[in-house]
Structure 1
């Protein structure tokens, strides 16, 4: 700048009009720019390839405490014990001679509180929390994944030494820790293993004759060694992870320099003048990993010294669900009716097999329903409709003919009436003729109490409820439609369980004990029906129960008719609305009989 002013003042300014740009080949210019861009991208990727992808939270940045973790009391007790060991690691190690826990594996369904619990542990311990998703370790560059893992554990050790402790959390660890080739995975149960009794809660009139209940599944987990999910670098990545999980007692950088200097000086000193080398101090670090697929993890990860403790987060039981209902409703707008203990117990019963996240989402959807009707607080009806939408699907407008509407209402009324008469242990939840997915209408029913086993009578009642729709059609329409197709799937499955698994028929032979290349690929229903005697027993059992329902509904035609008429006019009945119609019809029928006899 000074040189330019000097030329201006001396009368010899620069004239830019005389400048001439050199002649350049446009192709060379474009090629050079492209080359520089590629080199820049490669250098940037190389520099960042080994950087740890974690996010560090200080304790004061975490709002979750152990008091906020609901529905997993059994796991919380063990977590508190692990947390106490973590905080008292020095006394536990030096005074008692124990080996501290280095890793906890949280396994369970999505939404059961695994990440929530890990954050609460870091908050309660008052130490840094290094959160990372396992997928963020993955890289397209060879060796970069292992470098990122090393960087992450280096950062974890550094934070633990600086703050007296640190907790690292790896989300979805199965992304980088699948079973290596040649390693025996933890065996997964096959279809030959026992399964729970078939428990339908939805019985619907279907348009195509096939409507398996939404929560009635016969599923076997696939083998743990799914080769399609294993990439070429899996072995190296898992090996690096195994090494790093045992790196917490390694010397720090300063200790390594100290040891090197001591070695250099000791080479010049006599034996009696040797300098002592530094002893590595134990690093108080705890690694927590979460996964939904623990059986697919490499078995070397699960041995003591790596992941010392394996905690399973199951869906909460009824008592825990009641606690969750109270916790979430305390923060969400609701009508006073939802403060009643009986109503909240009812909600806890309705949400069987729900995870904490699912329960909170259910209440959020109920608030959406309240907004649709221009209200500012949810009601029980809003929650019921939200649950129906979540589990079965949105209602779809269908222009039924008058005959179809009456037929479907008759079919569903047959289910509900049968359930009300034969199974007082079951709760009638929703009865509707509004189309949802493949179901033109349905009855949703469930256990009044949370049960884990069933008696023979209860299993027979499930078959009878399934047969109620077909029998009602025969009695009132003198014909059978395609609607009972899904009901027969339910009834056949329950009957096959009774005959082939539970010993509830004449034979005590269990078809679960049958092994073989062909049979092992067939579920229990296929095995029972594939056996001539088993098929005959199932057929006989189904016909007996259908006849029982036929006699029952013939005697109580007035109940089916009353419920059918209510469905035709109102389209959907929820909870107490169903039983109110049946009780009123039973009362009217009894009064009419008294008048006739009088």
Structure 2
């Protein structure tokens, strides 16, 4: 007999011997000893009852607090399949490989491999990360747990750990029953932030009240994702203790799928192999993907011939599947409100405008002179957009208030673009400055409605000179030790570039004064214009279609930096030349 087994049996023999001696003494002491023993036993039972009563209340409280907002979905319950996930065929192909592994866990292990334990889905909101996890679970015919990472956090230290332990305990039980189980944790960055950056669940304080559990919650998640091989049932543990089970403990196939918009902030321990083995970036669909998604949703609604998947996909560059679904539904709502039997393209367009800019809220009390100011402001934007942006089309120009903007001039790309030239960035700067140019030329005054226009123009000019190396130097503030000092030095050049582009766009609006006047007059008469209507105005005035946009170049900038007073400029990431700059959408 091994020493460890003899120690166990020795403890049992000692306890039995002690109880036997106490029994003999009580028997020999006759009624008096028995009476004293009964009294002591009664007192002990009362104390035990009081202790148990307090423990039950305490345990009940923790049980109530430890219940996480986790939804358990059994195989086939959602009914979503590969046919329901549209727009990203490459993502589907990778997900199908994971399903193949989940279905053949036993055969895969027999080959000597280990089942995948974690899949991290990264990407912007609305791209279908949680939906993809549901499809994987349904196609693999395994149970699916849907949990939100913030729901694990609790004001009592340790309660969040209990939630995570309970979640994985149930998942392992279901994995033994169904062969595998999937746990989906949404917004995992709430508890998985890097501990070196002070994250790890945003814990603060100490002791019993820790406001979320801090790094302890992350540590518990790390342990549960990659635990040691242990027996999970008490019967198996009993057999192993009695030496009736000698084989290695089997680890159930539990796949943890997590979603985040911020993969860069996650702790490195989460991202190592054995936890999140794979990472998939789920991005917004391209044109073909959007056509596929629109075909899927438009088949479910009544629509006329004007609303096609191809036309809608061209208007929704950058949209996520969730946004596309919302816009299609809103188009049906608008069609129903006007008592139509089918949704049209105009309903779809109205739904997009409401989603992007807000409801129409006309200012009926606005004076005619103020309406004229707004009309020429937006006309300046529209003319610059129409003549200078080669890869964009004017989509809508309006002087009707939407949200916080008194008016706006918006464009849509003619096709998807993934990089921009120096001429295109300068064209964007001129579009931003065109409203001020129109005000000075045709109104003879400067208005305060150019706040966001000047901000966007300054941001793009700073990026043009100091980030992407399109000026006379290859300097980049991204590599500078002190970006603030670099921006102070760049301020004179930024201002000179803006003045140069202002002069160029002012010449443009002067040469197309008839175009400006015509657009402003139509805006005052009708309130808004579409891109097609603006192009029609141009054809009627000049007898030709939209000309090829010119190649824009700046004048030579100053050779050396000028000293400038300290000023506060935007932080990192604000000065991005790829930032969407739909000019004219600022409150006037």
**TM-score normalised to the size of structure 2?**
0.76
Cα displacement (A) at 1:124: 0.7
Where do 5+ consecutive residues of structure 1 fail to align? 1-36, 186-222, 263-274, 590-598
For the Cα contact (< 8 Å) 1:559–1:586, is it kept in 2? no
The counterpart of 2:316, out of the listed 331, 351, 354, is 351
> For residue 113 of structure 2, what is the aligned residue in structure 1?
98
Q: For residues 50 and 482 of structure 1, what CA distance do their matches in structure 2 show?
A: 55
Which residue matches 1:586? Answer: 542
Structure 2 gaps of 5+ residues are: 1-52, 546-588
Q: Is the 8 A contact 1:466 1:488 kept in 2?
A: yes
Whether the 8 Å contact between 1:456 and 1:504 is mirrored in structure 2 is yes
CA distance in 1, matches of 2:57, 2:202: 35
How far residue 428 of structure 1 moved from its aligned partner, in angstroms, is 0.5
Closer, same or farther: CA 379–281 of 1 in aligned 2, 3 Å:
same
Q: Tell me which residue corresponds to 2:577.
A: none
Alignment match of 2:329 (pick from 345, 348, 364):
364
Deviation of 1:142 after TM superposition, in Å, equals 4.1
Does the alignment pair 1:381 with 2:362? no
- Deviation of residue 159 (structure 1)? 1.0
Q: Match for residue 29 of structure 2?
A: none
> CA separation in 1, counterparts of 2:170 and 2:314?
46
Selected match of 2:461 from 482, 495, 499:
495
Q: Could you say what secondary structure the match of 1:407 adopts?
A: helix
- Name the counterpart of 2:83: 67
Tell whether the 8 Å contact from 1:225 to 1:296 is kept in structure 2 after alignment: no
1:250 shift after superposition: 2.4
Superposed counterparts of 1:75-90, under 5 Å: 75-90=91-106
Check 1:41–1:375 CA distance in 2 against 1; reply closer, same or farther (3 A cut): farther
- Alignment match, 2:278: 309
Give the conservation status (yes or no) of the 8 Å contact 1:334–1:379.
Answer: yes
Change (3 A) 1:512 1:224: farther
Q: 1:499-537 deviations in whole A, cap 9, x for unaligned?
A: 222222223322332113xx3xx5xxx843x11xx3333
- Report the Cα distance in structure 2 between the residues aligned to 1:161 and 1:509, rounded to whole angstroms: 60
Q: Distance in 2 between matches of 1:278 and 1:507?
A: 69
Tell me the distance in 1 between the aligned counterparts of 2:162 and 2:203: 25
**For residues 358 and 260 of structure 1, do their structure 2 counterparts lie closer, same or farther at Cα, with a shift above 3 Å needed?**
same
**Structure 1 residues 308-337: Cα deviation after superposition (integer angstroms, max 9, x where no partner):** 112222222232222222222222232211
Q: Give the conservation status (yes or no) of the 8 Å contact 1:412–1:431.
A: yes
Q: Provide the C-alpha distance between the structure 2 equivalents of 1:505 and 1:46, rounded to a whole number of angstroms.
A: 63
2:122 aligned counterpart, secondary structure = strand
Structure 2 Cα separation of the partners of residues 133 and 402 of structure 1: 53
1:408 matches 2:374: yes
- 2:508 alignment partner, one of 528, 541, 552: 552
Q: CA deviation at 1:588?
A: 9.9
Q: 2:294 aligns with which of 305, 325, 335?
A: 325
Note the 1:392-403 alignment, pairs <5 A: 392-398=357-363, 399-403=365-369
> How far does residue 571 in structure 1 lie from its aligned partner after superposition?
0.2
Deviations 1:6-27 (CA, angstroms, capped at 9, x unpaired): xxxxxxxxxxxxxxxxxxxxxx
CA 1:174–1:482 in 2, change beyond 3 Å: closer, same or farther?
closer
Which of 137, 152, 168 lines up with 1:122 in the alignment?
137
> Which one is further off, 223-232 or 477-486?
223-232
Q: Tell me, yes or no, if the aligned pair for 1:224 and 1:296 is still in contact at 8 Å.
A: no
Partner of 1:157: 172
The Cα shift of 1:248 comes to 7.5
Change (3 A) 1:48 1:225: closer
Structure 1 residue 43 displacement after superposition: 5.7
1:167–1:577 Cα change, 3 Å: same
**Change in CA separation of 1:242 and 1:553 when aligned onto 2, cut-off 3 Å:** closer
Q: Which secondary structure does the structure 2 equivalent of 1:400 belong to? A: coil
Give the alignment of 1:57-456 within 5 angstroms.
57-95=73-111, 97-180=112-195, 183=196, 231=211, 233-247=213-227, 249-253=229-233, 254-262=235-243, 277-339=246-308, 344-398=309-363, 399-456=365-422
User: Relative contact order, CA 8 A, sep 6+: which one is greater?
Assistant: 1
Q: 1:478 offset after TM fit, Å? A: 2.1
Quote the offset at 1:345 in angstroms. 3.3
Are the equivalent residues in 2 in contact too, given 1:184–1:299 (CA < 8 A)? no
> C-alpha offsets along residues 435-476 of structure 1, whole Å, 9 cap, x if unaligned?
223321110013211111111221121122222222222222
Deviations 1:127-185 (A, max 9, x none): 222333334434454433322322221211111111222222223333443444xx468
Question: Is the 8 Å Cα contact of residues 397 and 529 (structure 2) preserved in structure 1?
Answer: yes
The 10-residue stretch of structure 1 (398-407 or 485-494) with the greater mean CA deviation from structure 2? 485-494
Are residues 1:511 and 2:467 paired?
no
> Does structure 2 conserve the Cα–Cα contact (< 8 Å) formed by 1:249 and 1:283?
no
Q: What is the deviation of 1:121?
A: 0.7
Tell me which residue corresponds to 2:528. Answer: 572
Note the aligned Cα RMSD (angstroms).
Answer: 2.9
